[in-house]
């Protein structure tokens, strides 16, 4: 695949996913503007994840039947309109509804681009291409926090979404001309058959089941951390501005590098080793993160470990599920990301609620416990896989 095309998939994925995560560093400001308690403001993030679930269930399967190029164009136009509407919202109910729609369309664009990239890539380079697209997602996540922090300090949280609408309009010009055509589907299904076939994938695809559960737990951990981080950093004695809070996301830049590498390692058959290392990092990260009150340097170390673990496992998961079927990439990524959305939404809601009751240490204990469960799920799956191989050989 030409590098320019890989870069286009990467940039589009990153710019789209950023819209879903702009709110995380702004939770305290949104709570103040709309009169929502700190214990409940995590519902903003949950609303975006609810939109993500709707996108995965009802929009993503269309990529296996329709022209992905045309579908991406109209989804991008709709996303721009949703961002403009969110920037103008005046009530807490409107805020939640706007976040839901932005989550819906931002997720559809992001995951649609990843499935698109996987479908047009050659089998021997699929892990590399998916890794590059996922690296764009990592950069988008990082820039989302930096952008939202800086723009919120310069203007307001409304400026964050209005500015993003302008950037997405600029991106639309490239999308309109340069995305390649896709191969026609081998089998035509009705819309309801298409959506229903996702249930069959969830029921029968063992790789999807295991990797999906790992994704649920991994992104719960990720959301537990990032959803609560702005609360202790913006409160006394630290009282950091939103631009400084958002800048902590830049520490995870190494996650973009590991995302690309993890795809190449998956192409070489090293998926299980990468998974073990990634889950270990995910658990170890909570040790330095728990020392946030002692030094921000410990926070930086913890963010680095957390992002490395999450991105390596995420790319490995995707590479493995794309290998399990060549005719259902959109539905596979939709099913996989359903686990992600459930984990992220639950993690955000639990994180802010635990912070309101037990502070930052309570958040760290919660994150560490979920990390342990993720490691246990992976270990059990490897043990079962080994037992099945022994039975097959005998």
How is the chain split into domains, by residue range? 3-393
The mean pLDDT value for 341-364 works out to 89
Average pLDDT over residues 51-71: 86
Coil, helix or strand for 234? helix
Is residue 20 within 8 Å of 141, Cβ to Cβ?
A: no
55 contacts: CB under 8 Å, gap ≥ 6: 103, 104, 105, 107, 108, 111
Q: What is the CATH number of domain 3-393?
A: 1.20.1250.20
Examine the pLDDT at 286 and tell me if it is beyond 90: yes
Check whether 87 has a pLDDT greater than 60: yes
Average pLDDT of 317-325?
Answer: 82
Query: Taking all residues of the chain, what is their mean pLDDT, rounded to a whole number?
Result: 85
**Axis-axis angle for helices 157-178, 27-34 (nearest 10):** 120
Mean of the pLDDT values across residues 50-62? 88
Using CA atoms of 201, 69, 135, 51 in order, give the dihedral in degrees to the nearest 10: -60
Question: For 5-23, what is each residue's pLDDT tens digit?
Answer: 888 888 889 999 999 988 8
How far is CA 325 from its chain centroid?
Answer: 22
Confidence of residue 391 (pLDDT cuts 50, 70, 90): very low
pTM of the model: 0.76
Residue 99 has pLDDT above 90, yes or no: yes
> CA–CA separation, 255 vs 263, rounded Å?
12
- Please tell me whether residue 22 adopts helix, strand or coil conformation: coil
pLDDT of residue 24: 77
What's the pLDDT score for residue 392? 44
Least confident of 106-115, 116-125, 155-164: 116-125
Q: Which residue has the higher pLDDT, 301 or 141?
A: 301
- Both tokens assigned to 156: 């307001």
Sign of CA pseudo-dihedral 166, 167, 172, 174: positive
**Dist. CA 25–CA 341, nearest whole Å:** 19
Count of residues in the chain: 394
Q: Would you state the pLDDT for residue 184?
A: 55
Over residues 108-116, mean pLDDT: 89
Q: How confident is the model at residue 164 (pLDDT cuts 50, 70, 90)?
A: very high
Please write the tens of the pLDDT for every residue from 294-316.
889 999 999 989 988 988 898 88
Q: How confident is the model at residue 68 (pLDDT cuts 50, 70, 90)?
A: confident
First to last CA, the chain: 42
Assigned token pair, 198 = 């996702």
| Average pLDDT for 325-354 | 84
Range 64-92 average pLDDT = 89
Query: What was the pLDDT predicted at 253?
Result: 67
Q: What digits encode the pLDDT tens for the residues 216-268?
A: 999 999 999 988 888 898 888 888 886 777 778 777 766 666 666 777 777 77
CA distance 147 to 251: 15
């Amino acid at each position: 695949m030409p590098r320019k095309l890989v870069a286009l998939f990467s940039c589009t994925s990153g710019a789209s996913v950023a819209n879903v995560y702009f709110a995380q560093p702004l939770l305290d400001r949104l709570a103040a503007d709309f009169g929502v308690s700190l214990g409940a403001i995590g519902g903003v993030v949950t609303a975006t994840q609810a939109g993500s679930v709707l996108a995965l269930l009802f929009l993503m399967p269309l990529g296996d039947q329709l022209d992905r190029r045309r579908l991406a164009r109209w989804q991008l136009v709709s996303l721009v309109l949703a961002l403009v509407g969110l920037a103008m919202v005046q009530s807490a109910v409107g805020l939640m509804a706007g976040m839901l729609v932005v989550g819906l369309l931002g997720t559809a664009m992001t995951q649609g681009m990843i499935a698109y990239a996987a479908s047009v890539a050659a089998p021997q380079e699929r892990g590399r291409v998916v890794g590059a697209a996922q690296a764009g997602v990592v950069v988008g996540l990082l820039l989302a926090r930096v952008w939202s922090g800086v723009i919120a300090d310069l203007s307001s949280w409304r400026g964050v979404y209005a500015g993003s609408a302008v950037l997405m309009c600029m991106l639309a010009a490239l999308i309109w001309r340069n995305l390649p055509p896709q191969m026609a589907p081998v089998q035509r299904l009705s819309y309801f058959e298409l959506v229903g076939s996702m249930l069959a994938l969830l029921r029968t695809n063992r790789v999807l089941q295991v990797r999906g559960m790992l994704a649920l737990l991994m992104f719960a951990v990720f959301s537990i951390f990032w959803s609560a981080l702005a609360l202790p950093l913006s409160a006394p004695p630290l009282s950091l501005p939103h631009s400084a809070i958002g800048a902590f996301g830049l520490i995870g830049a190494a996650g973009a590098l590991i995302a690309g590498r993890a795809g190449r390692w998956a192409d070489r058959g090293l998926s299980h080793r990468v998974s073990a290392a990634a889950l270990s990092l995910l658990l170890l990260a909570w040790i330095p993160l728990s020392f946030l009150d002692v030094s921000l340097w410990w926070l930086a170390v913890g963010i680095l470990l957390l992002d490395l673990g999450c991105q390596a496992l995420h790319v490995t998961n995707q590479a493995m599920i794309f290998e399990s079927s060549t005719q259902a990439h959109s539905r596979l990524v939709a099913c996989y990301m359903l686990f992600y959305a459930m984990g992220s939404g639950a993690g955000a809601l639990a994180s802010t609620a635990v912070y309101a009751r037990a502070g930052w240490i309570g958040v760290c204990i919660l994150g560490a416990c979920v990390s342990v469960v993720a490691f246990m799920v992976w270990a059990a799956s490897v043990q079962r896989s080994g037992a099945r191989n022994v039975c097959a050989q005998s």
